Chain A
Amino acid sequence: MSFSLKRVYAIFNKDIKDVSKNMFVLSTVIMPIILAFVFTQSEQVPLGTHYFIINLTFVSITVFVQGAIIAEEKEKNTLRGLMMSPATTIEIITGKSGLSALLTVISLVACMRITGYEFVNEPAIYFAFFMSLILYLAMGTLLGLLTRTVMEASLVLMPLLFVFGMGTLLLEFIANYPNLAFLEYLPNYQLQFLAETVNAGQAFTDVIGYLIVIAAWMVILCILTVVVYRKRVIDGK
């Protein structure tokens, strides 16, 4: 199957022009940055707080912006035009993910600069961040494909924001309920555990387990996204 960077870039370029005039999406991007400013008021920002902001950025920007972009394409029947063009599934999904990925990276860098977070043992963390970015992009694409309008996508985002974005706060809650221990396998907690392990000076081999769980999330969500997208191509809507 061919892959055309020109087509991917055309879709990405279109999204930049389109979203630059979309205040609803743009205003969402500022939220984690404001939160980062609020948390820098305390002298020492704990690691849990850094990852609370990082995970919130993934959900509120990566998932929401991606979901909103896809849901709007569906709402306005423009996704059908892309599906009916010679662009392949992978080209469309990659092109449609470019803007959300760019906004996520900018926001993450801005938030980390504000809160003063610095990576230790960079390769493991970079790798985990990269996989998290892909999995949250896939989650956002799914959100957009499974909802009919931007408004519906915003509503469905709320529980996702609670489960995937409220890291530290939920961890304390989970500790009191052993039955909810499985929630620790969510990718946001795995990312935080990985960072804690790395910060404690452990070796790369000690974080492999976390990387595998995050990778599993990434693979499952990517497969689900492609399956749902291909079903949408022939749903006749």
Chain B
Amino acid sequence: MDNILSVKALKQVFSKETAIDNMNFEVKRGEIFGFLGPSGAGKTTTIKILTGQLHPTSGSALLFDVPSTKMNHPKYLKKIGVMTDNSGLYSRLSVYDNLHLYCELYSVENKRKRIDEVLEMVNLIDVKSKIVSKLSKGMLQRVTLSRALLHEPELLFLDEPTSALDPANSRHIHHGLQELNRKGTTIFLTTHDMQEAELLCDRVAFLNNGKVQLLDEPSKLRRKYSDDTLTVELVGGERRILKNGPEGAQKMYEYMSNNQVITMYSNEPTLGDIFVDVTGRSLL
């Protein structure tokens, strides 16, 4: 798989504060790449650099083999979709009018059909004619997301796309994003929701203090940081932790032969546990 995005020695300094420090990573075409970290870790700053909204202090970021500093050219802007917390909507206009404007700006064909499609995807078709100022925060977030999808971008940047959503709507959005990814859209997703990252991402990067601390597939990370143990819950409520190996297998055989096992589970860490382990920081 070729790289759609490549970041090398990226650095961003604001006044005297270093927001991003020697950042390196690549995003493969067609993957969902999770960029995980707590608030203030540098996620949004990275998206702003990658989408040409900010020029880095040093280092480089290439998208489609083009420097991010050239990304605000119309030719490249058509290829990317961006949803960040600074993507505003026109509050006096309806949802439809907001989306229609962007259909015109991106020269989208079959505008009505496309607007209906993206609104279906974010589960908002019923509020198409509603004035934006009357929408809840979660609805606004979904309209902003639908706007980023209108022109079917090759590379989609999503900054905390489900942070204001209830679980049902988050699930709906997750399915939509997976479907979009299956059709070929590469997704760069920032989140501090580790469950969301586990569910959606092919690979994740842990960001802390402006640096990528760890980068791999979620399953590989879990295995790497696993302590190779299994917890077995026995009749009577007793719990035993068994280590992988002949001794653990022998014990397990005994418990199972005597019908003592109620349940058992692997002690693989969650991505959240790994993050805390690696950075010493919690994600919130």
Contact = CB atoms under 8 A, between A and B. Distances in A.
Contacts of B24: none
A82 B72 contact: no
Contact of B92 (A21, A234, A236): A21
Contacts of B147: 81
Interface of B: 45, 48, 51-55, 69, 72, 74-75, 77-78, 82, 86-93, 97, 101-102, 104-107, 147
Interface in A33-90: 76-78, 80-88
Nearest to A1: B74
A237 B105 contact: no
Interface string A212-237: 00000000000000000000011111
A85 B72 contact: no
Contacts, number: 82
A233 B93 CA distance: 24
Given A11-B101, A86-B105, A81 B91 contact: no
26 contacts: A2-B74, A6-B104, A6-B107, A9-B104, A14-B90, A17-B97, A21-B92, A22-B92, A76-B91, A77-B86, A78-B88, A78-B90, A82-B105, A83-B53, A84-B77, A84-B87, A85-B77, A86-B75, A86-B77, A87-B74, A233-B53, A234-B52, A234-B55, A235-B53, A236-B45, A236-B53
A14 B97 contact: yes
A81 B132 CA distance: 16
B86 A237 contact: yes
B87 A83 contact: no
* A contact residues, range: 20 to 34
A7 B92 contact: no
Most buried by B among A9, A18, A84: A84
A94 to B, nearest CB: 13
Which of A22, A82, A85 has the most CB atoms of chain B within a 10 A radius of its CB?
A85
A80 B105 contact: no
Most buried by B among A11, A14, A21, A88: A14
B46 to A, nearest CB: 11
B66 to A, nearest CB: 15
A22 B88 CA distance: 18
